[in-house]
A and B are shown apart, each in its own frame.
Chain A
Amino acid sequence: MAQKRVLMKGNEVIAEAAIRAGCRNYFGYPITPQTEVMHYMAKKMVQVGGNFVQAESEVAAINMVYGAAAAGFRVMTSSSSPGISLKQEGISYIAGAELPAVVVNIVRAGPGLGGIQPAQGDYFQATKGGGHGDYRNIVIAPASVQELYELVVEAFNLADKYRMTCMIIGDGTLGQMMEPVAFRDEEPVETIEKPWAACGRKGDSFHHTVTSIYIDPDVLEKKNLELQEKYKIVEANEVRYESICMDDDPEIVITAFSTCSRISRNVIRQARELGIKVGMIRPITLWPFPYKAIAEAADMPSVKAFLDVELNAGQMIEDVRLGANGKKPVYFHGRLGGNLPMQKEILDKIVAIHEGKITEGGNF
């Protein structure tokens, strides 16, 4: 049963959703544009009897996450791009030790300290590694405040289920905007036993230890192969995406996630007013990526081309191209530095593609 809709900021909803999902441990360090997550946690964690620590640094915060996760508790940290870079060592250790954790990245423009406006330049970092070693994180990209709430709750379930980091990736727009959100009376929290947790021996005959160090190459290889097996299961079961206006033989398919998918939704309507049938595939999980959905769209006879829209220089486009597998051209429109594309820019590009006036590639 859903409650009455209330107007809330994306960042606040992230914190509220985590608490509703049973997260009682939050460790963070402030950074724009995600600081409201911390503000909310600082206020609410005390009220629900949880732990809130403003750590001395991002590195400290992620290692506190490692500790709480190792002890079997639901735990979250949040930051924005430069802070997430600092956390990568810990995220790799969490992957190696197979611990469940939720990490939120409200992306700002980079590289370096960059700026504080919305961007999606951390796609590669989020989906292709970020830290060292062969590991994966489940990466979820909500597109609205309501979805942010539902997917943060889900992130805790997925993290526990697969014992891995589940990363929520948004951007300054999603974090800062207010939209109505309807909370459920009860959350679909899945309680998963954690017999591996290092929370005391409790009469067991063995020590509960959590580690990511395996000096023997054969042992480490076996460990790695187990991880890869797990990632295959995630790839088979957890792909999520939304198809928009894909049922009536679209000619051009936009691929966009999060904020760019919101802007593109309006463009679909405008293009259709001009008589150009445009659809969209919006990946919700960036890893595992919906390659199959892209491949199926590439096989549709009506589809002439893809247009990938991102707030970066072209990162997800590599996955779109893998999915399209050379069957249809993939065009690109991106903005950098914290700027957002105007709807008209995207529409102009669609018209140009439709009229065959531009060449494929990373043109802006």
Chain B
Amino acid sequence: MIDFSVIFAGFGGQGILSAGKMAAEAALYEGKEVSWFPSYGPEMRGGTANCSVVFSDEPIGSPVVNDADVVICLNQPSMEKFEKQLKPGALMILDSSLIKTRPTRTDIKVIAMEASDIASELGKMMFAPITMLGCMATATGCFTRDSFEKSLYEILPERKHNLIPINMEAFDRGAAFAK
């Protein structure tokens, strides 16, 4: 795997940047090279947020992603903006609870999943991007479920380990959409 690149995009406050970091940690756990680069600036809750994550078996060239292998979208403006930044044949995963239209491009794969509805069933909206991570990991093999779970045990302080099973439930609910 050389420079497998993912863009996470949505509203500030949805957990976009955290989800990108969790994906990077899972790949790092597998010994891969990773980079995580956020949009930064005068952002606020409700404003737009995105980050680019690159996984590679070799040292990473650019951390800045112009043509992604996967785009994960959690709002309408992000879908419209980032569908232009996918490679031909690449994958867009979108939250159909929040996005009512579909990409105009026909040369990309699209998985539409009710991420926010699932998250609300699980009790917290912050699980929405986790479900989409599960879908991405399963659809592309960019990291394994096992690495994701183990990396959570490593990066979270012990007092938060009780939250890992529900995160894994979110991950698995999302994984089902990849099949």
Contacts and interface: CB of A to CB of B under 8 A. Distances in A.
A266 B61 contact: yes
A233 interface: no
A269 interface: yes
B37 A173 contact: yes
A266 B34 CA distance: 15
Interface stretch (B21-29, B75-83, B104-112, B114-122): B21-29
Residue from the set B36, B38, B59, B62 with the largest chain A CB neighbour count within 10 Å: B62
A172 interface: yes
A7 B25 contact: yes
Given A7-B24, A117-B41, A178 B62 contact: no
A265 B35 CA distance: 15
B12 interface: no
A177 interface: yes
A63 interface: no
Interface in B41-81: 41-42, 59-64, 66
A7 B151 CA distance: 11
B2 to A, nearest CB: 8
Interface string A18-38: 000000000000001100000
Given A7-B28, A116-B40, A265-B61, A177 B66 contact: no
B66 to A, nearest CB: 5
B3 interface: yes
A117 B41 CA distance: 8
Interface in A232-264: 259, 262-264
B21 A7 contact: yes
Contact of A179 (B36, B62, B66): B36
Interface in B140-171: none
A343 interface: yes
Size category of the A interface is 20 to 34
Contacts of B61: 262-266, 269
Contact of B40 (A7, A176, A265, A342): A176
A344 interface: yes
B172 interface: no
Contacts of A179: 34-36, 60, 63
Contacts of A33: 40
Interface residues of B, number: 21
A32 B59 CA distance: 28
A262 B63 contact: yes
Contacts of B34: 7, 179-180
A144 B41 CA distance: 21
A176 B52 CA distance: 12
Given A7-B21, A263-B61, A344-B66, A178 B35 contact: yes
A116 B41 contact: yes
B158 to A, nearest CB: 17
B24 A178 contact: yes
Interface string A336-359: 000010111000000000000000
Contact of A262 (B25, B42, B62, B66): B62
Contacts of B62: 262-263, 265-266, 343
Contacts of B59: 144, 265
Contacts of B37: 173, 176-178
A340 to B, nearest CB: 5
Nearest to A338: B41
A117 B42 CA distance: 11
Interface in B6-27: 21, 24-25
Contacts of B35: 177-179
27 contacts: A7-B21, A7-B34, A32-B40, A33-B40, A116-B42, A117-B41, A173-B64, A176-B40, A177-B35, A177-B36, A177-B37, A177-B63, A178-B36, A179-B34, A179-B63, A180-B33, A180-B34, A259-B64, A262-B60, A262-B64, A263-B62, A263-B64, A265-B62, A266-B61, A340-B64, A342-B66, A343-B66
Given A179-B63, A263-B64, 12 more contacts: A5-B28, A32-B41, A173-B64, A176-B37, A177-B38, A178-B35, A179-B35, A179-B60, A180-B28, A264-B61, A266-B61, A269-B61
